Structure 1
Amino acid sequence: MDKEELKKRTKSFAHRCVKLALNLPNTILCKHLQGQLIRASTSVAANYRAACISQSTASFISKLSIVIEEADESLFWLEFILEENLIKKERIENLINEASELTAIFIASRKTIQKNNQ
């Protein structure tokens, strides 16, 4: 998968998370979860874009580390929403899988880059 495909994939992930967040019930807890999920998922896409235009390997690795943290945090919030039974499993399962896959992809990418720059 090339960087343009990953840019599209991370942006799509962000859009899908935003749509899911906006469909949560109107409660105090859900308002908090909405904000957290929207912030974390959009940060995945934004920081991956920033990583793609990094001017150094160190900067790229740093931005990629942020992407990993935000993808994993998105996964946390998605799992939390599911565990609180706020959305049916069928509606959130694909996003949970995508968050897991994106986290794994970016961890593997960071390991490869770090290995190649030793």
Structure 2
Amino acid sequence: MQKNNLIKDKTFDFALLIIELYKICKTQNEYVISKQLLRSGTSIGANVQEATAGFSEKDFLYKMSIASKEARET
């Protein structure tokens, strides 16, 4: 049984919100910024997922730092 992981849950929920915002931006004919927002905003959770499956503490920290950078970009 897998226990809850607050960061994974929050980044997943955030990605869903980013997707909704992306859809709204597209209806307003905003494509350039919306695509980058979609990429960076959904990448946060993907990197957190990768981090939790890391092989070592160093790998975990590296992938979490990437997630942090994507969050700042978003």
Q: Shorter-chain TM-score: which interval?
A: 0.7 to 0.9
Consecutive unaligned residues in structure 2, runs of 5 or more:
none
Q: Following superposition of structure 1 onto structure 2, how do residues 43-54 of structure 1 map, counting pairs within 5 Å? A: 43-54=43-54
Larger radius of gyration: 1
TM-score, normalised by the number of residues in structure 1? 0.56
Aligned residues: 70
Distance 1:16 1:51 in 2: 22
Which residue of structure 1 aligns with residue 10 of structure 2? 9
Q: Percent identity?
A: 31
Considering Cα pairs closer than 8 Å and 6+ residues apart, tell me whether 1 or 2 has the greater RCO: 2
TM-score, normalised by the number of residues in structure 2? 0.87
Which residue of structure 1 aligns with residue 73 of structure 2? 73
> Which contiguous aligned blocks of 4+ residues in structure 1 show a shift greater than 3 angstroms?
none
